[in-house]
Each structure stands twice: as C-alpha cells, then as structure tokens.
Amino acid sequence: MIYIKISLIAAVSTAAFFLSASSPKITYKYGRIDAVNLSDKDKFDPYLIDVNTSLTKNLLIATGVQGRLESITPKNYWRLGRDSMGTWRSNTDFWLHSGSLLFCTEHAQSIKFSTRESNATFNGRGTIILEATKNGGFKFIPLEGKGTITTAKGGTKEIIGGRMVLVLGKPTYFGDAYDIDIMLLLKSSRLVNSYPTSLPTFKKMGLAIYIQELKLKGKYDALIGDATTNENLELWRFGSAKKSNGKPVTNKKGIFGRIFSSD
C-alpha cells in the first residue's frame, strides 16, 4: 500500500514537472502586459501579469502599445512585440492573433506556428519573425536559418535568410515570396533591438547578410505592409511612404478591442 502511494506521488510529480517544462515563463517584460484565462469561458476578465508568469495554453497574452515580453528557455528564445496578442500552446507551439513575434533557436526542432486562419510547421533552426496579417494569415520572415516550412496545401519549402513568404488560407498554402533587406530589418526591428539580452544567432545573421549581398547585390523587394485579403497585398518601396493601393491606414482600436475581430 505504501509502495503504491509513493509510486502515485512520484507519477503526479513527474507529470507536473513535464507540464511545467512544456510551458515557458516570462523572463523579461516592458510596459503593460495583460492576460485572459481562456479556461473560464463564462467571463472575459483581463488582468496584469509580470516576470515569471507561466505562459500556459489557457492564457491569452496581450501586450500594450509600448509593451513587449521575452521568454528564454534552454532551447528557445520567444519575443512578443508591441500591440500583439497570442497564446503559447507549448514551448514549441504558438498561436498569433495579431501583431508580431520573434522565435530564435540554435537547436533543430519542430515548431508549430498558427494564426486565425492559417498554420504551418517549421522544421529546423533559425531566427524567425512572424507578423499576423488582416486576412488571418501571416508573414514568415527568416532572418537566418536552416530548415523547411510545411503547410497542408502548399507542401514543403526550404527557408532562405531574408526570403519572406506569405502563409495564407485554410487549408493553408503559400502565397508570394519576397526578398527583403536583412540589414535594414535588423536595424529597424524592435523585436531584435529592444531587449536586454542578445540573440545567440547574431553571427549567423551576419553571415546571412553577406550571402544576401553577394546574391542580390542590393536588389530587394520591400514589404512593410499588410495583407487585407488573400488577393490584396500592401507594398511599400524603400524610400516611399505610400503603399501600392493607397495611403497607409492606422488602426486606433485598443488591443482587446480588436480581439477576434473579423477584419
């Protein structure tokens, strides 16, 4: 009887350990960070969270206009950008409702990324930026890395540093791909520059910049806009403040005011 009791306690402790290990924790935060417990379906009650909060699959996390957070685990770096919303389903599975996310790892593994309408699996290692688009898909932007990205309808593509690809639809497929200036992105991205810790892949990003310069000789496609539908893509050219189909539109709604919006 005592043996059974001890075995039961050990099993519960082991299960609790693996459950805890699968959920990253906030290791750095700046500005306002809110959370909603999705397990309580009868009420929508946002509350403030701080460093060391476990990012479990039941928590919907939202950063403020000046907010941002980082979670560092033994293998992975996660950064959620300003004015963004999403959920860590585990340390290898992230759902992005809106805004932007950076993922970085030096260890080859399988990572699932999803948004309101689309999902894809990244197999490999690298430094990846995700940006949710209004059509429910996302922009997959590898700053450097080695591996593949796979979707249900689009098959598998090899990732290339600086080669952004649109991930669209349900079932998910690949949209157009664009070469972007890695150097310019590194200089301007708060996901890269606005955190106290340095990413462990900076040397690899430097190599990706060198390779890109040799191959493209400064000829890049500038994509800084949004995809409002699967057919409508907003584009800016470097040195121009206008997009291809008009003037940029600023959404003044608060982060929770836009939750699960249809636009």
Q: Which one-letter DSSP state was computed for residue 162? A: T
pTM, full prediction: 0.79
> Which position has the higher pLDDT, 234 or 123?
123
Domain CATH number, residue 201: 2.60.120.1440
Instruction: Judge whether 28 lies within some domain.
Output: yes
Q: For residues 190 and 101, give the distance between their C-alpha atoms in angstroms, rounded to a whole number.
A: 11
Spatial CA neighbour of 109 closest among 143, 151, 148, 152: 148
Instruction: Judge whether 19 lies within some domain.
Output: yes
Is the distance from CB of 87 to CB of 60 less than 8 angstroms? yes
Task: Please return the burial class of 183, using the count of CB atoms within 10 Å of its CB with bins 0-12, 13-18 and 19+.
Answer: middle
Q: Considering its fold, how many domains does the chain have in total?
A: 1
Instruction: Judge whether 263 lies within some domain.
Output: no
pLDDT tens sequence across 140-196: 999 999 999 999 999 999 999 999 999 999 999 999 999 999 999 999 999 999 999
Q: For residues 241 and 250, give the distance between their C-alpha atoms in angstroms, rounded to a whole number.
A: 13
Instruction: Judge whether 194 lies within some domain.
Output: yes
Is the distance from CB of 100 to CB of 68 less than 8 angstroms? no
User: What length is written for the chain?
Assistant: 263
According to the model, what pLDDT value does residue 245 have?
Answer: 43
Domain housing 209: 2-258
- Of all residues in the chain, the percent with pLDDT exceeding 70 is 74
Mean pLDDT of 42-56: 93
Instruction: Judge whether 118 lies within some domain.
Output: yes
Instruction: Judge whether 106 lies within some domain.
Output: yes
- In this structure, what token pair is assigned to residue 244? 């291809």
